[in-house]
Chains A and B, each alone.
Chain A
Amino acid sequence: MTHRQPPLDLSPPVSDEVRKTTCYMCACRCGIDVHMKEGRVAYIEGNRDHPVNRGVLCAKGSAGIMQHNAPSRLRAPLRRVGPRGSGEFEEITWEEALETAAGWMKPLRETAPEKLAFFTGRDQSQSLTSFWAQQFGTPNYAAHGGFCSVNMAAAGIYTMGGAFWEFGQPDWAHTKLFMIFGVAEDHDSNPIKMGIGEIKARGARVIGVNPIRTGYNAVADDWVGITPGTDGLFILALVHELLRAGRIDLDYLARWTNAPVLVNGDAASPEHGLFLRDDEGRPLVIDRRTGKPAAFDAPGVRPDLAGTWRKAGVTHRTVMHLIAERYLDPAHAPEAVAGRCGVPAERIRAIAAELARVAFEESFEVAQEWTDFRGETHETVTARPVSFHAMRGISAHSNGFQTARALHLLQILLGTVERPGGFRFKPPYPKPPEAHPRPHARCAPEAPLAGPHLGFPLGPEDLCLDEAGDPARIDKAFTWENPLSAHGMMHMVISNAHAGDPYRIDTLFLYMANMAWNSSMNTRGVVEMLTDTDEAGDYVIPRIIYSDAYASEMVAYADLVLPDTTYLERHDCISLLDRPISEADAAADAIRWPVVTPDRDVCGFQSVLLDLGARLGLPGFVTDDGAPKYADYADYIVNHERRPGVGPLAGWRTGKHGPSHGRGAPNAAQLENYIANGGFFLAEVPEGARYMKPWNRAYQDWAVSMGFYDAPQPYLFQLYAEPLRRFQLAAEGHGERQPPEHLRERIKATLDPLPAWYPPFSDGHADPEEYPVHALTQRPMAMYHSWGSQNAWLRQIHGVNPLYMHPDLMRRHGLEEGDWARLASPHGEITVPVAAMAALNPNTVWTWNAIGKRKGAWALDREAPEATRGFLLNHLIHELLPERGDGLRWSNSDPVTGQAAWFDLRVRIEKSKPPEEALPVFDALASPVPAPPAELKWKI
């Protein structure tokens, strides 16, 4: 047949209209262009103008159309008719649902507000949900940070006023060496991929530190397949090497950090280990010009890193002295840690040398005149082109807080933070702990809390304890067990509520948190707690209200279900008051708006919350005459003011002389302005304010003008964290608030004011001989927690999750590809399919996170592979550590922040006969939604 070509239309119409909104397929919050045809969603792609993704979009984002149309979408409010966990419901009207919820909550507010526990999961409206809980007056509120990455966030805030991801980013444009620790493919999903692509294109080196070589680690030029839980030890060996060679940025340390601050060296003093301060409370340094103490911020002061001050027979030394003494110790030498870390000493030395070489020999100057807080003007900023990023892999351990602190110590010693080529904060960060609130938990009937639930304690006086010294919160956040639990401890709520410890609650109100499945440790146990009854036959947790858009496992355990919309059917604000989406050179916020109207009887949860607030008469939710203050969430987004002139959205407010950004009165057309601008707002950081933000007067003044804070607040990076030392002092017997006896030694050991490493706690509870193998999960790039498997396109990419094992480990257990293995931890057992993977720490096994599903959930067929071969490691992990004969049950959490120590898990492996399906098997849930279609042909 001769060559012939049929006619072809090369310019077909693409869509009727493009609506620009914000993605919610993970927590990245990229801008998306939603192409509409005939009023329906036809195609989704990245928004080229958006600061987060600049046009690109990941697999999840592009599969949003399948999430929006998922058969698992709930259709109407549900009231439970069968026993809890059966999944048997009847559909009710919204009026019935809201009256029921308000009817349960109102008496609690009138008598004992703490009996309402309100916890939200992957909530992107924490600014509203926390405000609602505060106005209700319950101390029991938090989102999911406690089981996610609070170690990372808190360590960053306490050390330097911000951490990775939402707080700051590598300076991709200038960095020449990028080192990434423990990042499981995601967070911050698209920006990390974009950054790696950008720097690799110009030949910069990427070093990946992760037991598993997938994703970002697969493209890393050098891979460090470290033993889980030893990252801190590895990092401190790098610190040892840099100190030993004097390859640290002395000028940076002297000017911008507390390395030159004098520490009280009087062992007999109740202030031993705290900073020496002047009468106005300002930390003192030795001024190198005079040799005398001076306030750290005095004009012209030259802080002396090597200073000492002898007074009343006691020598007080600087933080730098303590750092040198601590980390030059041979215990931190590469040879001393190599075996434990699984990284040869030669390799540790080579990496330290490379960090030093790039930081100091590839340095350059960037012309940018700026004036520091002491009044000195500089003509340039010095580049230190080494940058770091880290996430849950290092933080989800019981030593995660200190490990994250160690990483910040490393990058600050190299002088890279806020320098070109290093790590840069994103507005409204940096903000040190002092600029954040303290936690509030004191409650009384019919009264709001005096302030926000979550905050950053500066010492024992800020703990949330009642008069008797008992925990004020149901999750025991901000107690001696975990004093700096800045994100709360969602993973402890159900087990504490079930145990009535510290007290019983009445109503558990959850939003978007799959606590009956993949979001809980000890899944079977949690399910039993949710369904357990007392002697009278009543549920031990009397009432459960749940809001979700989809038929997740948790829905089956609710008494009342409030169906949420999909992300394309709702208003939202990605607020600077909440978890921001800024870039280093610009503050940014964004909205979601209903690009389509729901075709079901569902309602955005935030509008539901506003309605409930009005029904309950909560201050801030009703007008003076008691009428609802806001019609819906859109109305709130535009008109709510947290402080005069500061509201949820910073863009297009009303100033004295026309439109104003940052501060200003509400503007009725604000959402229209956002939509016209592509769904987001961006305010560029002024030219002279872009680096050295904590100390840069131009940045500080701009931050005040934008409403991030009300007065300039320059500060020093806290290599030595004084708040931690205050808890140690209490444990040593100083002060009025004293920890219980059994916690004294642990507080002394773990709330170390200098970054420290100690073995993961489980190593002291689970016998490492009996449970010799580390077990981890990673989130796949194409999935976001339990949402991915209901997505027709994404589940074809990751529909199964074998247990990946090193071939040597498989051989030792007689396992071959396709075999099944029994994994046992001190808490439980699972039997799962195995697969070989060599690019893996040889003593670590792993699987993809949250693929496994319970039969009947998510509108999947009961024979779906996610429900028959898919599995969770959660069954092996308990919220408490095993007993060890001391009469106590220790929490499986970080002792500083309470972060769930998911990745401390150790297991024993043995070959198993193939079961019919992965074990354990749970009974099927009745599905609250109709059966899904047998075929998809998705053309509009």
Chain B
Amino acid sequence: MTELPARTERKLGLVIDLDTCVGCHACVVACKGWNTQAYGAPLSDQDPYGADPSGTFLNRVHSYEITPADGAPQLVHFPKSCLHCEEAPCVTVCPTGASYKRSEDGIVLVNEDACIGCGLCAWACPYGAREMDQAEGVMKKCTLCVDRIYNENLAPEDREPACVRTCPAGARHFGDLGDPESDVSKLVAERGGIDLMPEQGTKPVNKYLPPRPRDRLEAAPPAALEPVADAPGGFLGWLDRALDRLPGGQD
């Protein structure tokens, strides 16, 4: 079917911090807004004001509840879009060459002119990261905002994916994960970033930073507060002595 490039010069991707993602969906809608106006066909919505609204989104946030054996239940917000895998099964499965991985930066794209809407790639993607646009009949996916990140019509600081630019919590980072000296690579090293479903052998470029341990205050409590006096009279005596020790006091 379609070949992957032998290697890519860079590995551009996202690092998503699950410790700080508050699940606000800002990235979801910024992505929808930009990509409706930008690369390829608009992201359409069917029955948008009706009983069963459904539209094309390139990025969605899922929420999972986790109940640790030794602590309070937690809610983890998990944004998910194309992970721009090194071994992208969505590309190799494509019968027309419409799906391809760019050799310059590793971004996985769909050439909509060549896409026949067969849906094989969505079936092949273990992450469910591709969505067929119902109006256009072509496969849509995260482009890593390829039309932003090099765009000379944008100010240099805006040449990043729309989802990264908009994230209020600063939970999304963009960069070259092929360069061990890049900020994103250092962040992944420092925080123990992980691959999503590594057993699939897809070698995803995007990484996730796991949530830090929660609810540890009592496990490692600060030194207990010692009473200065157990009765109000005792407290006032302490107060008087303490005031004397303040600058300008009697001592």
Interface residues of A (CB under 8 A from B): 1-6, 8-14, 35, 37, 42-46, 48, 53, 55-63, 65, 71, 185, 189-190, 193-194, 196-198, 200-201, 205, 207, 213-216, 218-223, 225, 241-247, 250-251, 254, 288, 302, 304-306, 320-321, 324-325, 328, 346-347, 349-354, 356-357, 781-782, 790, 792-797, 799, 837-840, 859-861, 863-865, 868, 932-940
15 sample A-B contacts, Cβ–Cβ < 8 Å, listed by A number: A6-B114, A10-B150, A42-B37, A43-B37, A45-B165, A45-B166, A56-B168, A62-B26, A193-B168, A221-B217, A288-B249, A321-B236, A354-B221, A796-B53, A861-B50
Q: Is the CB of B42 within 8 A of A305?
A: no
Q: Which residues of B contact A353 (CB under 8 A)?
A: 221-225
Contacts A244-B227, A324-B236, A861-B51: A781 and B100 contacting too (C-beta < 8 A)? no
Q: Are A57 and B26 in contact (CB-based, < 8 A)?
A: yes
Give the contacting residue for B49; candidates A14, A782, A860; CB below 8 A: A860
A781 cross-chain contacts in B, Cβ below 8 A: 22-25
Q: How far is the CA of A279 from the CA of B124 in the complex (A)?
A: 85
Partner of A215, one of B23, B102, B224: B23
Complex-state Cα separation, A56 to B166, whole angstroms: 4
The 8 tightest CB contacts between A and B, nearest first, are A245-B225, A197-B170, A193-B168, A932-B49, A792-B48, A246-B228, A197-B169, A838-B73
Q: Which residue of A lies closest to B245 (CB)?
A: A250
| Residues of B contacting A2 in the complex (Cβ-Cβ under 8 angstroms) | 3
A940 near B37: Cβ-Cβ < 8 Å: yes
| Partner among B77, B100, B227 whose Cβ is within 8 Å of the Cβ of A3 | B100
Query: Cβ of B50 and Cβ of A863 under 8 Å apart?
Result: yes
Tell me the bound Cα distance from A245 to B47 in angstroms: 62
Hey, which chain A residues are within 8 Å of B201, CB to CB?
A: none
CB < 8 Å: which of B4, B26, B236 contacts A58? Answer: B26
Residues from chain B with a CB closer than 8 A to the CB of A198 are 170
Residue B218, interface by CB 8 Å: yes
Chain A residues lying within 8 Å of B51, measured Cβ to Cβ, are: 861, 863-865, 868
A62 near B168 with CB under 8 A, answer no
A934 in contact with B76 (CB, 8 Å)? no
- Determine the chain A residues whose CB is within 8 A of the CB of B151 once the complex forms: 10-12, 14
Tell me the smallest distance from the CB of A219 to a CB of chain B, in Å. Answer: 5
Q: How far is the CA of A853 from the CA of B33 in the complex (A)?
A: 25
B20 touches A196 (CB 8 A): yes
**Residues on B with beta carbons closer than 8 Å to the beta carbon of A60:** 29
Query: How many angstroms between the C-alpha atoms of A897 and B101 in the bound complex?
Result: 62
Assess whether B169 is in contact with A196, with CB atoms less than 8 Å apart: yes
Contact among B28, B44, B171 with A936 in the assembled complex (CB-CB below 8 Å): B44
B247 at the interface (CB under 8 A from A): yes
Question: Which B positions have Cβ atoms within 8 angstroms of A?
Answer: 1-6, 19-26, 28-30, 32-34, 36-38, 41-42, 44-55, 57, 65, 67, 72-77, 94, 96-97, 100-103, 109, 111, 113-114, 135-136, 146-147, 150-154, 157-158, 162, 165-171, 211-212, 214-218, 221-232, 235-236, 238-240, 242-243, 246-250
B153 and A11 contact, CB distance less than 8 A: yes
CA A216 – CA B6 in complex, angstroms? 44
CB distance from B31 to the nearest CB of A (A): 9
A246 with B238, Cβ < 8 A, contacts A48-B157, A932-B49 known: yes
Which of A48, A62, A222, A351 interacts with B29 by CB under 8 Å?
A: A62
Complex Cα distance, B44 from A937, in Å, reads 5
CB distance from B170 to the nearest CB of A (A): 4
> Which A residues lie within 8 Å of B72 (CB)?
213, 223, 225, 839
Q: Is the CB of A3 within 8 A of B4?
A: yes
* Set B23, B212, B250: member contacting A218, Cβ < 8 A: B23
A42 to B86, CA, bound (A): 34
Residues on A with C-beta less than 8 A from B53 are 792, 795-796, 799
**CB pair B226 A218 closer than 8 Å:** no
On whether the beta carbons of A936 and B216 are closer than 8 Å, the reply is: no
Q: Looking across the interface, which residue of chain B has its beta carbon closest to that of A214?
A: B75
CA gap between A56 and B22 in the complex, in Å? 14
A249 to chain B, nearest CB (A): 10
Q: Contact partner of A935 among B32, B46, B94, B215, CB < 8 A?
A: B46
In the bound assembly, the distance between CA atoms of A166 and B164 in angstroms comes to 27
Q: Are A864 and B24 CB-contacts (below 8 A) given A193-B168, A288-B243?
A: no
Measured between beta carbons, the chain A residues less than 8 angstroms from B19 are 200, 219
Distance of A61 from chain B, by nearest CB (Å): 8
| Bound: A933/B97 CA distance, A | 35
Q: A12-B151, A214-B75, A797-B28 are in contact. Are A193 and B45 (CB under 8 A)?
A: no
- With both chains docked as a complex, state the minimum distance between the C-beta of B117 and any C-beta of chain A, in angstroms: 16
Q: Which residues of B contact A247 (CB under 8 A)?
A: 225
- Closest approach, in angstroms, between the C-beta of B154 and any C-beta of chain A? 6
Bound CA span A63–B45, Å: 13
The answer to whether B65 and A837 have CB atoms under 8 Å apart is yes
Residue numbers in B under 8 Å from A45 (CB-CB): 30, 33-34, 162, 165-166
Chain B nearest CB from A734 CB (Å) reads 28
* Contact between chains at B2 and A1 (CB < 8 Å): yes
Cβ of A623 to closest chain B Cβ, rounded Å: 45
Query: A14, B45: Cβ atoms under 8 Å?
Result: no
State in angstroms the CA–CA spacing of A735 and B10 once bound together: 80
Q: A3-B100, A43-B33, A933-B49 are in contact. Are A58 and B170 (CB under 8 A)?
A: no
Given contacts A353-B224, A796-B45, whether A839 and B242 have CB atoms under 8 Å apart is no
- Most interface-central of A37, A198, A245 (chain B CB within 10 A): A245
Please, how many angstroms separate the alpha-carbon atoms of A934 and B41 in the complex? Answer: 18
Chain A's closest residue to B227 (CB) is: A244
In the complex formed, the residue of A with least CB distance to B246 is: A251
Given the complex, which residues of B lie within 8 Å of A1, measured CB to CB? 1-3, 94, 96-97
Query: What 17 new A-B contacts, CB under 8 Å, besides A246-B238, A864-B51, A939-B42?
Result: A4-B100, A5-B103, A11-B150, A37-B37, A58-B26, A222-B214, A250-B246, A288-B250, A321-B236, A328-B231, A781-B25, A782-B24, A790-B49, A792-B45, A793-B45, A864-B49, A937-B136
Contact of B48 among A218, A325, A933 (CB under 8 A): A933
Contact between B48 and A935, CB atoms less than 8 A apart: yes
B152 touches A11 (CB 8 A): yes
Instruction: Decide if A63 touches B29 in the complex (CB within 8 Å).
Output: yes
A-chain residues with CB within 8 Å of residue B23 when the two chains form the complex: 214-215, 218, 781
Residues A793 and B50 in contact, CB atoms below 8 Å apart: no
A676 to B12, CA, bound (A): 36
Minimal beta-carbon separation of B94 from chain A (angstroms): 8
Q: Give the residues in chain A near B150, CB-CB below 8 Å.
A: 10-11
- Known interface pairs A6-B113, A219-B20, A781-B22; A244-B74 also in contact (CB < 8 Å): no
